[in-house]
Structure 1
């Protein structure tokens, strides 16, 4: 593929493969699936998403406005809404989910005639292997714990929302759903909808989609008054549907071979350092698994801007392309222009094989974020 680097590439064929799996869940389980924009917000692909999904879920006003680019359902949750933004959020949202009774009591009268009101509750089931991504960790600020739940304040509340998963399979949802019902099941008879949150790796190999469908159907049978069941995965939409292409700028030796790329873990794939994790590189192996081992480093001045150690069948050369897999999610939405390095282009590979450059970034984009 002859493209300028660095560049994120999303393949429509792979994206649609994920969307078809999600649509199957919608149809067979009578559920609605929303794309969580916090994980995948490439709006140049919204036309394709709109064909399969029921809407989008936002984490605040700007994401809600982005979701509102399409005539689908827009759902908005924020740990705390601003007074200056709540009216606009309500105007464009199908549901507005509050994180506390303080926020509910402050804003419910400004929302109730425009949107359905929900509360995020904390099911108290920790299953994420990384504390940074565990909404049910001790002292969490996300979701109302049962000890603080006020049943007498539910007059304008039509739905409950929980979110406790991160990149997890169906068995984690089963445990979380059990905990949610144990704590809050008594209130569900008065609700119109429930949102199971995100973190469902539905399109990942090994995920038992049949089990998910049966769990949702069983839940609906237990609460026949519930009109809508929502799931809001972000990663499952773009999982393995895109990659980041970089170029080798230099190769140095400081006790081992180090390839410096025109990309950055810190700026362009921040979860590599934050989670942390080691992304898959196309055609590469573990250190010393293949004949030639290199440390792949970013182009910023951050000493720790290292992506990882990889081995290759043949020596890397200056000018070679290196492809990092699964880079359509939590990359574009979290990247930065740290050190003033160029943000990657956003490329869409159409189903017919043609290449569409959705966005190219320039110096002015960097300058205009500053003052």
Structure 2
């Protein structure tokens, strides 16, 4: 068993997911990119890189890490709302595909990409599918992408360097129906002008357990009708269900008639618990459990609570508890609030756990020591 708190990712589950996509994409299916923002762990990126057509980044640091993992194999794609003047030249050297977020950035920077990267534009199809506007890329006054309505013929005509279009509109979506609606609107709006482009990036946010045959069908038609290279960039779909957060119970007491179990982990190790105000799935939960307990994180934040769970027995000090389906957006958002250490990272290979990274006081001190980084 790992020392806790621990983040465990199941390499065998990731391999199965990638194999499923490879089978569905065989032939004329879309080219697969792994969106690294969900879990940018270099040992994992190096293992994924040979199985995909490239990696997708959202910042210069992610792009540097991707380039190291790819080592010249596969394409490196990037889009972000915030291209910075001091970084744009390095991004152009590192990345093979650069999608600008606005027409203004396209005008300002696209010429700098000439001879290095294929230039694209992130487009906002102006179709909302996410019920929560905090996570809706197509919300009113969105910062993410050029509204499709702005791509009138006069605008398209001046984008001489434009080679591709990128869009991303959903989050954790089980159906490809939104993608069908988006493509229909895109084709209706741009029509034959799509033939002037080289590639189309369909974004991510879809679960790979959906109808992958339908996804492959979209790709086949876009290649046939417009001659486009088609890309698809899942992140959570690759790593989400393959990740676990393991914690130990360090205290148990009664509070107002309810059992509270304090863990050596915290929602600061899985910030989306607080962000989404939802409880992560617990492996030990028992619907017919005789005991219920509030599982609380170990920081001084009153709302540091994973939730209330039905359990087979009352928790005891030293018990291990496992939160499931937390592979994406956990460690990449995690923090050391109250000076609590980050979880160690373990890899499960189907037979044994392997410690891949751990943290200590020196990492904490380096962050807050007030000393300039060595040049």
TM range (shorter): over 0.9
Deviation per CA, 1:38-62: give whole Å up to 9, x if none: 1122221223312311111000100
Partner of 2:189: 183
Cα pair distance change 1:155/1:7, threshold 3 Å? same
> How much does 1:30 deviate?
3.1
TM-score of the aligned structures, taking structure 2 as reference length:
0.93
Within the candidate set 361, 364, 371, 1:363 is matched to: 361
* 2:160 aligned with 1:155: yes
Q: Deviations over 1:344-363 (max 9, x none)?
A: 00001124x12221100111
What does 1:312-331 correspond to in 2, within 5 Å? Answer: 312-331=311-330
Does the C-alpha gap of structure 1 residues 276 and 29 become closer, same or farther in structure 2, counting only changes over 3 Å?
farther
What is the alpha-carbon distance in structure 2 between the residues aligned to residue 138 and residue 65 of structure 1? 33
Q: Deviation string for 1:60-107 (max 9, x for gaps)?
A: 100001111123211011102111001111101010110111111111
1:212-361 pair list within 5 angstroms: 212-223=215-226, 225-226=227-228, 228-255=229-256, 256-265=258-267, 267-285=268-286, 289-351=288-350, 353-361=351-359
- Which among 208, 213, 226 is matched to residue 211 of structure 2? 208
Counterpart position of 2:373 = none
Q: Match of 2:135?
A: 133
**Contact 1:25–1:31 (CA under 8 A) maintained in structure 2:** no
Q: How many residues matched?
A: 361
Decide whether aligned partners of structure 1 residues 217 and 276 sit closer, same or farther in structure 2, where only a CA change above 3 A counts. farther
- The answer for unaligned runs of 5 or more in structure 2 is 371-375
Q: What CA distance in whole angstroms lies between the structure 2 residues aligned with 1:319 and 1:200?
A: 38
Q: Indicate the larger mover: 213-222 or 150-159.
A: 213-222
Q: Are residues 1:40 and 2:39 paired?
A: yes
Q: Which runs of 5 or more residues in structure 1 are unaligned? A: none
Shift of residue 276, structure 1, vs aligned partner: 3.2
TM-score, with structure 1 as normaliser: 0.94
* Counterpart secondary structure, 1:157: coil
Distance in 2 (CA, whole Å) between partners of 1:196 and 1:320 is 44
Shift of 1:186: 4.3
User: Residue deviations 1:209-268, cap 9 Å, x none?
Assistant: 222222222232221x21x10011101111311201000011121121111111111x11
How big is the shift at 1:154?
Answer: 1.3
Displacement of 1:6 after TM fit? 0.4
Q: For the aligned residues, what is the CA RMSD?
A: 1.5
